[in-house]
Copies of this chain bind each other. A is one copy, B any other.
């Protein structure tokens, strides 16, 4: 019955001693580096198994100056921003990509002052090997931090302003345009938009897409009704829209949550969808399929967004210089439009 801390956690020295080799050789064998004879390599492996040796990650990190972790930072003034199924999908994708490189995922919700301060420290002191930044808003302090940080940074979704050096984004404008065009192509003329937060690039880009489509069809875009990507804001926005334009025949919402909210308001107002009024959303997450009627929506590859963002970070960590990536969207037609 082994006891004592040294017994529970053998060090590399003990392994080396046990295998009758030096620490250097043991280290090389462990990282299967060259310059180790077959015999000693096997002796080390035996000792490792026998002692149940597991390398100490922190010690390794200190010596190599690599932490073995990447951070996913989600900005926002309220942690509820994160409570969107969108992020779980992103995380699943990022996690999968990181796993291949054997990096751990640190999740930082930069929602409070304290949270932001911790992210700042992280970036100032290389608390991670790289950082993925998401959901930045206008004048987000994280943007400046990212520039000053001497560590790999990739943006998941462009921030407002000049495009950063490294980012992965989705074709927000194209998707929104396609959805709006679809509405127009099916005879709708009084098309409004429930746009998303205009202090985010995604919100603005989708609004641009809507406007582009309207103008191309020779129609005057209606003034957008701004929401914050949540269901209640969609419901409230739809009510506002209805009172302003009683004769609407279609609405493009900046995401599925808001579209679902719109549906709820329309139902309460006695309007039928899509007969009286068509509704289209954006995201194609679960909610789009379970809405009644199921939502016609712009599918965006959310999991791939996470995965590609992580991959780009990995190539950056790897010393290469990837180019930005824009992922395509596609319209999914269901019953709501």
Contacts and interface: CB of A to CB of B under 8 A. Distances in A.
Interface in A142-159: 150
A165 B264 CA distance: 45
Nearest to A83: B88
A331 B162 CA distance: 49
A20 interface: no
A219 interface: no
Contacts of A56: 125
Interface residues of A, number: 59
A99 B83 contact: no
A125 B88 CA distance: 28
A290 B289 contact: no
A99 B85 contact: no
A105 B107 contact: yes
A79 B105 contact: no
Contacts of A150: 8
A99 B115 contact: yes
A91 B82 contact: yes
A182 interface: no
Q: How would you classify the secondary structure of chain A's contact residues: helix, strand, loop or mixed?
A: helix
A131 to B, nearest CB: 13
Contacts of A320: none
A332 interface: no
Contacts of A118: 99, 102, 104
A74 to B, nearest CB: 10
A55 B125 contact: yes
A99 to B, nearest CB: 6
A107 B95 contact: yes
B91 A107 contact: yes
Interface stretch (A59-67, A183-191, A197-205): A59-67
Contact of A88 (B58, B88, B112, B257): B88
B79 A83 contact: no
Given A88-B84, A125-B56, A267 B290 contact: no
Interface string A10-38: 00000000000000000000000000000
Interface in A101-141: 102, 104-109, 112, 114-115, 118, 121-122, 124-127
A92 interface: yes
A249 interface: no
A112 to B, nearest CB: 7
A260 interface: yes
A216 interface: no
A108 to B, nearest CB: 7
Contacts of A260: 290
A265 to B, nearest CB: 11
Contacts of A326: none
Given A59-B62, A95-B107, A287-B290, 8 more contacts: A69-B106, A99-B109, A104-B106, A104-B118, A104-B122, A105-B106, A105-B107, A107-B107
14 contacts: A9-B125, A54-B124, A83-B89, A85-B85, A87-B88, A88-B88, A91-B107, A91-B109, A95-B107, A95-B115, A99-B118, A105-B107, A264-B292, A292-B292
The 4 closest A-B pairs by CB, nearest first: A54-B125, A292-B292, A260-B290, A58-B61
